[in-house]
Structure 1
Amino acid sequence: MAWPKLPYLLPFLSWLPKQTRASVSRDAVVGLSGAILALPQSIAYALIAGLPPEYGLYAAIVPVIIACLWGSSWHLICGPTAAISIVLFASVSPLAVPGTQDYISLILLLTFLAGVFQWLLGMLKFGALANFVSHSVVLGFTLGAAVVIALGQLPNVLGLNLSSKATALDSLLTLLAHVRQFDPASLGLGASTLALGIALKLWLPRWPTLLITLVLASLAVWLLPHVFGHVELVQSFVGRLPPFSPLPLDVETILRLLPGAVAVGMLGLVTSLSIARSLATRSQQMLDANQEVRAQGLSNVVGSLFSGYLSSGSFTRSGLSYEGGASSPLAGVFSALWVALFAVAGSKLIAHIPIPAMAGSILLICWGLVDTRGIRALWRVSRAEFAVMALTCVATLLLELQTAIYAGVLASLFFYLKRTSRPRIHQWREGDEEVLRVGGSIFFGASHYLQVRLQRTQGQRVVIEAQHINFIDYSGVEMLHQEARRLRGLGRSLTLRRARAQVVEELKKLEGADKCPILFEA
């Protein structure tokens, strides 16, 4: 009896046995390309999150393997991202000193909580909840996060040792107060890395830009010690596979981290599902959103136990997997294995990377985060959605980042409810009939608007063309009954024409079919 459940419990059994030697070889090569891209990105994102560099590599190993094996997308590859890293930093840095063991434990605990939240959404088949974080919110948050990250890295580019601040405005004011104390060598190294990275992205977009710029900067420091000998380097770490990390399951701490965990968990799901749906459309794949949500949650729950901080879908690595011709999620698994090999064997190389160059690379990542084409399209298509994007961006700059996400979601819901509270109504007269064609649901937010329109009618017989009414709630039922009784008292009538069976059934429930004051026509 347990065998039919195996595809649900172990979804990779549906595609793994079908792999051939040729497809596995191709996925291994695509995975190597993804690992080359992931190595410098993961280290940079860990630094954004206030973590030692090796934790970026850990986040690109176990969570990636779990998400690929248990997910439904052929090409989605997860890992640490810039936006999530900055939210984690903003959520946990007020509670502990970044880089310390207490800080690391809190980051991993927050990752575990976010993973549990994601997994529960998937188990309850609430994957569609991620749709409530609209694309405009993601655009605005990403734009704001790019500015926040850039402001946080500018002191490293300038060779300044400044403490982190809660908001972007505080960071900017602190930076302006100390900007004259900059180190010319650090500035030269950071600016050169950024300029070279931009040039490579424009002229050779398929090359591993981050890796090239960091290698060249490290060579410059090594060859010119009399110029760059004092420049701070990334700290080294002991090469090993992701270690097991017990979590501090303290109730008070969990309650303090929970709001941030929910916010970053939703952000991760929105990002991952957006990427997965985009690639599924291009590859003609059927995507199971709830399975993908469960896989994201499971990857973060298991990943947090093996030192991996919160991961989500990566635009660049997933796009590389698709463009590289990956034939299965094995490409992501191979990518994680290649990163694991580097984490064990190549850890000493990281200690040669200068901090200003790494900061310049992070600024390059920030530049790539700004979706100017999407922002321009949003302005042309919907000014309301553009306002949501702008509000989210401003909130990201002025408020704590998890609060900014909630502000963006609430703004999206406000504009959605405002739009749906005024359903489209086309009105005309036919003799003694006054007809209203209603396009939209009659729910608590829209019932008052429709009631006002009904009270303004003059016809002896008021008819609602109801074929486009998909849903009616108790408020709508009560309002239509009230209006039907009012019209009857005036010697007039209210008729619903061509209403759906479900709508008619709901309207007849209130007082019984025999006492319903509303007339119905087929």
Structure 2
Amino acid sequence: MPLPSRQTLLPFLRWLPNVSRGSLGKDLLVGLTGAVLALPQSIAYALIAGLPAEYGLYAAIVPVIIACLWGSSWHLIGGPTAAISIVLFTSVSPLAAPGSEAFIALVLLLTFLAGLFQWLLGLLRFGALVNFVSQSVILGFTLGAAVVIALGQVPNLLGIDLQSQATALTTLLEIGRHLGDIDLAALGLAALTLAVCLLSRRLWRRGPALLVGLTAGSLAVLALPGVFSTVALVSAFTGQLPPFTLLSFDLSDILALLPAAVACGMLGLVTSLSIARALARTSQQFLDANQEVRAQGLSNLIGPWFAGSLSAGSFTRSALNLQAGARSPLAGVFSALMVAVFALFGASLISHIPLPSMAAVILLICWGLVDSDGVRALYRVSRSEFLVMLLTLLATLLLELQAAIYAGVLASLFFYLKRTSQPRVKFWQDGDEEVLRIEGSIFFGACAYLQQLIQRSKGKRVIIDAHHVNFIDYAGVEMLHQEARRLAGQQRELVLRRARPQVIEELHKLEGAEQCPVRFEE
């Protein structure tokens, strides 16, 4: 077997020689814009995941650089995301107190396991497996995650102290019990931040509205310390580059985290590939799905050794990357490096951010996750897929999030198998011949349905027009042989017309060409 080439091991060598001084300057400017957007988002996502604020910045540095350099997409930028952050929180919070050293260690171990799962899928060229998580599942999960995230931030918004809950329903009930404890100063500060963010978006469409809102909230606390004395602030941390972190591979922890790691790995891949494909359609770029899967896995394999939690593609940052005119993946690399500079020198600024302001920013992020156009389009196009979306949404609200992903995938597979088990069949009578044109595969799932149709046929010759049958398995071969013998006992015959060579070959394998009871016609 030939050894892999340098460009296979180091795929950035394919495009790096084409970088010019002009494109480098453009990518540097785009990277600066992306870093400004990444800063408040990354901090917010760390808090959603139950991690200290600095871990959001760490997750936007090393994993992003690796995914950009080893990936296939020119414009995809990863980092912490809202949906994955809430899955991390709900998966690990039952095992350790959020924000504790044990909690951080488990999140990093889960990230490594998810990255290993992703990398193995890419190595085995199983990138297409992510296609089994349908768009309807992602849509329902994203809607549900938006609600879960928003409810999780309501205590910070209202200035009340609540323990984390496993599901959205229990969170809502717990909030209802503490409505009498609302801190009006916290609520007013959140309202101010929200108003500034919305006004900034209206006046400066491409500006960093979230950063402007956080700045306004922080300045209000500094200007009026007496009014906002009860408002909690983001925990202070020491400014530093992502620290090298040794992972603990305890077998009991691995077994406890493995189901969540697989769910998180699949969710991250589906999110990243969906974004990359959408960007590739716009930019007319060829996308190597398996390379992208390997890159995402590699970023999450190496990231946790540098304090980076689970990373996936960010639609907001990736779309900004494309619209701002990024010329190469170096734009994402520059963005990560600028976040690193802020983590090193701007840590003291983060400790002035009030938690109600951060909660208001997170609510805006949640609102951006609601794809009402996608929901309406899904309802118009496919009612069964719309039902899958609703089931996933309900599962997300009532179950833990990784269980909701599995529930959505199972629902999607159920409807897929239901459709494929009843392929489209057209009938017509031609004298003493009854013709059945099958448009689909003859496999074990469809055998009972097709056998029933053949047994109801009344013609002297039952002809199956197999021109559109691309695949037949052992169960299908055995069923056709059985029906051919049954019809022969009634002085009738079963004929396959216009069958493809591979279908005829499979039918002959069971008993040989001479003994095959099925007749063939061109």
Q: TM-score range by the shorter chain?
A: over 0.9
1:464 counterpart SS class = strand
1:153/1:4 Cα in 2 relative to 1: closer, same or farther (>3 Å)? closer
Match of 1:61 in 2: 61
Match of 1:175 in 2: 175
Residue type of the alignment partner of 1:101? E
Q: What is the distance in 2 between the residues matched to 1:312 and 1:16?
A: 23
Matches within 5 A, 1:481-492: 481-492=481-492
Matches within 5 A, 1:100-499: 100-202=100-202, 204-499=204-499
2:520 counterpart SS class = strand
1:67 counterpart SS class = helix
Shift of 1:5: 1.2
Deviation sequence 1:160-192 (CA, Å, 0-9, x none): 011011111110011000011100100001122
Q: What is the distance in 1 between the residues matched to 2:259 and 2:513?
A: 47
Deviation sequence 1:83-128 (CA, Å, 0-9, x none): 0000000000000000000000000000000000000000000000
For structure 2, the residue ranges without an aligned partner over 5 or more in a row are none
Residue type of the alignment partner of 2:484? A
Q: What is the distance in 2 between the residues matched to 1:201 and 1:180?
A: 33
Q: What is the distance in 2 between the residues matched to 1:88 and 1:503?
A: 47
Whether the aligned pair in 1 keeps the contact of 2:200 and 2:212 (CA below 8 Å) is no
1:503/1:47 Cα in 2 relative to 1: closer, same or farther (>3 Å)? same
1:429/1:165 Cα in 2 relative to 1: closer, same or farther (>3 Å)? same
Residue type of the alignment partner of 2:371? D
Q: What is the distance in 2 between the residues matched to 1:406 and 1:397?
A: 14
- The answer as to 2:520 corresponding to 1:520 is yes
Whether the aligned pair in 1 keeps the contact of 2:38 and 2:317 (CA below 8 Å) is yes
Q: What is the distance in 1 between the residues matched to 2:96 and 2:4?
A: 47
Deviation sequence 1:390-449 (CA, Å, 0-9, x none): 000100010011000000000000000001111000000111110011001111111110
Shift of 1:226: 1.5
1:225 counterpart SS class = coil
Q: What is the distance in 2 between the residues matched to 1:366 and 1:340?
A: 26
**Structure 1 length normalisation: TM-score?**
0.99
For structure 1, the residue ranges without an aligned partner over 5 or more in a row are none
Q: What is the distance in 1 between the residues matched to 2:514 and 2:395?
A: 55
Match of 1:95 in 2: 95
Deviation sequence 1:115-158 (CA, Å, 0-9, x none): 00000000000000000110000010010011111111001010
Shift of 1:302: 0.3
Shift of 1:231: 1.0
1:287 counterpart SS class = coil
Q: What is the distance in 1 between the residues matched to 2:145 and 2:360?
A: 16
Residue type of the alignment partner of 1:419? R
Q: What is the distance in 2 between the residues matched to 1:3 and 1:133?
A: 33
Whether the aligned pair in 1 keeps the contact of 2:196 and 2:212 (CA below 8 Å) is no
2:226 counterpart SS class = helix
Q: What is the distance in 2 between the residues matched to 1:93 and 1:367?
A: 25
- The answer as to 2:17 corresponding to 1:17 is yes
Residue type of the alignment partner of 1:61? I
Whether the aligned pair in 1 keeps the contact of 2:196 and 2:216 (CA below 8 Å) is no
Shift of 1:194: 2.1
Shift of 1:202: 4.8
Taking only aligned residues, the RMSD between alpha carbons, in angstroms, comes to 1.1
Deviation sequence 1:440-486 (CA, Å, 0-9, x none): 11111111101000000011111111111111111111111111111
1:485/1:282 Cα in 2 relative to 1: closer, same or farther (>3 Å)? same
Identity, in percent, stands at 69
Shift of 1:317: 0.4
Q: What is the distance in 2 between the residues matched to 1:275 and 1:5?
A: 28
Q: What is the distance in 1 between the residues matched to 2:435 and 2:253?
A: 60
Deviation sequence 1:300-324 (CA, Å, 0-9, x none): 0000111000010000000001001
Bigger CA drift: 234-243 or 201-210?
201-210
Shift of 1:2: 8.3
Residue type of the alignment partner of 1:401? L
Match of 1:85 in 2: 85
Q: What is the distance in 1 between the residues matched to 2:436 and 2:202?
A: 56
Number of equivalenced pairs: 522
2:237 counterpart SS class = coil
1:163 counterpart SS class = coil
Bigger CA drift: 507-516 or 82-91?
507-516
Match of 1:49 in 2: 49
Q: What is the distance in 1 between the residues matched to 2:59 and 2:454?
A: 59
Q: What is the distance in 2 between the residues matched to 1:477 and 1:369?
A: 48
Residue type of the alignment partner of 2:124? L
Q: What is the distance in 1 between the residues matched to 2:199 and 2:379?
A: 29
Deviation sequence 1:264-294 (CA, Å, 0-9, x none): 1000000000000000011111100000000
Q: What is the distance in 2 between the residues matched to 1:327 and 1:365?
A: 27
Residue type of the alignment partner of 1:284? Q
**Structure 2 length normalisation: TM-score?**
0.99
1:201/1:416 Cα in 2 relative to 1: closer, same or farther (>3 Å)? farther
Deviation sequence 1:317-349 (CA, Å, 0-9, x none): 000010011011000000000000000010100
2:178 counterpart SS class = helix
Shift of 1:204: 3.5
1:486/1:19 Cα in 2 relative to 1: closer, same or farther (>3 Å)? same
Q: What is the distance in 2 between the residues matched to 1:196 and 1:148?
A: 24
Residue type of the alignment partner of 1:332? G
1:78 counterpart SS class = coil
Whether the aligned pair in 1 keeps the contact of 2:30 and 2:331 (CA below 8 Å) is yes
Shift of 1:195: 3.1
